[in-house]
């Protein structure tokens, strides 16, 4: 039988071309499958990396929606800040899971980080503006200072317990707050070198308003303070200074740890 070599060569070439195409298709399909798996793995890794952030964001959102908006916190700026500032970065590591519970938490040395609702309420009642200078008495964890720093130009905060001062400074620096100054001193006497202040917030209980704080308040300035028994309950009180007179408004009952130092001596 005589074979046409030319025809045979053409068939062979076509055969190999077809085989090559099939191999290329198989390789391409495998590449797509493997690439898809890699993309899915990368997405999973990204999700895992962001999981804690997403969980904390959801927790903050829940806190704001259910413990603030559902009550009497209506200032949109305050609500936005409470949803933004990471409270879990200001509590002890063993209490991170409870960071967005609407309750005070211990931070050591007999002190607490205040209930989120109360922080929002006190901040709202001060009616602060973006160009204001605010004094805080009782830095504690630094969380209230961080909330204020989001809303005003300058925050000066005083803490009598030195280890808390150092811890708060580190946390505020780590979170990028450059408009906050922390001082280790007795808050009863305020911060005269930085006075006058547009607003003063006292985050510890006293049975009288420290006179130096009134002196360091601008005319038209506001001071909010837990006023009353330092052993039981206090009344959250808003004081407005007008022509050297004081207008007071009682807001709600509260329980704060006492202001230590000179306040206790005079109490």
3-17: per-residue pLDDT in tens?
A: 455 555 666 666 667
CA 162 to chain centre: 22
pLDDT tens per residue across span 94-107:
999 999 999 999 99
Same domain, 54 and 75: no
Same domain, 47 and 4: yes
- Judged by DSSP in three states, 230 sits in coil
List the CATH number of the domain containing 86.
3.40.50.150
Same domain, 50 and 75: no
Given 52, 114, 141, 229, which residue is catalytic?
114
Q: Report residue 173 as tokens.
A: 């620096």
Q: Name the β-bridge partners of 28.
A: none
Q: Is 52 designated active site?
A: no
Q: Please provide the distance, in angstroms rounded to a whole number, between the alpha carbons at the two ends of the chain.
A: 123
Same domain, 118 and 233: yes
What is the total count of domains within the chain? Answer: 2
d(CA 79, CA 211): 32
Q: Report residue 237 as tokens.
A: 């009180």
pLDDT tens per residue across span 109-145:
999 999 999 999 999 999 999 999 999 999 999 999 9
Residue 63 within a domain: no
User: 139 φ, ψ to 5°?
Assistant: -65, -45
Give the domain extent around 225.
71-266
DSSP state of 141: T
Same domain, 153 and 131: yes
d(CA 257, CA 7): 100
> Per this entry, what is the length of the chain?
267
């Amino acid at each position: 039988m005589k074979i046409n070599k030319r025809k045979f060569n053409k068939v062979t070439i076509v055969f190999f071309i077809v085989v090559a195409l099939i191999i290329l298709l198989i390789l391409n399909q495998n590449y797509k499958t493997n690439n898809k798996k890699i993309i899915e793995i990368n997405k999973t890794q990204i999700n895992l990396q962001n999981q804690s952030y997403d969980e904390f964001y959801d927790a903050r959102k829940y806190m704001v929606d259910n413990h603030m908006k559902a009550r009497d916190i209506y200032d949109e700026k305050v609500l936005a800040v409470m949803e933004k500032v990471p409270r879990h970065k200001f509590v002890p590591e063993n209490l991170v899971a409870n960071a967005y519970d609407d309750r005070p938490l211990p931070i050591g040395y007999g002190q607490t980080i205040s209930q989120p609702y109360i922080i929002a309420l006190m901040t709202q009642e001060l009616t602060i503006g973006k160009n204001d200078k605010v004094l805080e008495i009782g830095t504690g964890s630094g969380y209230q200072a961080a909330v204020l720093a989001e809303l005003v130009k300058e925050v000066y905060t005083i803490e009598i317990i030195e280890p808390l001062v150092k811890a708060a400074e580190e946390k505020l620096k780590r979170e990028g707050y450059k408009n906050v100054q922390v001082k280790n001193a007795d808050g009863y006497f305020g911060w005269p070198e930085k006075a006058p202040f547009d607003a003063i917030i006292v985050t510890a209980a006293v049975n009288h308003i420290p006179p130096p704080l009134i002196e360091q308040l601008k005319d038209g300035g506001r001071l909010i303070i837990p006023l009353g028994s330092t052993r039981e309950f206090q009344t959250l009180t808003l004081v407005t200074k007008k022509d050297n007179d004081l207008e007071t408004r009682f807001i709600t009952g509260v329980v704060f740890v006492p202001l230590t130092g000179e306040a206790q001596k005079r109490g």
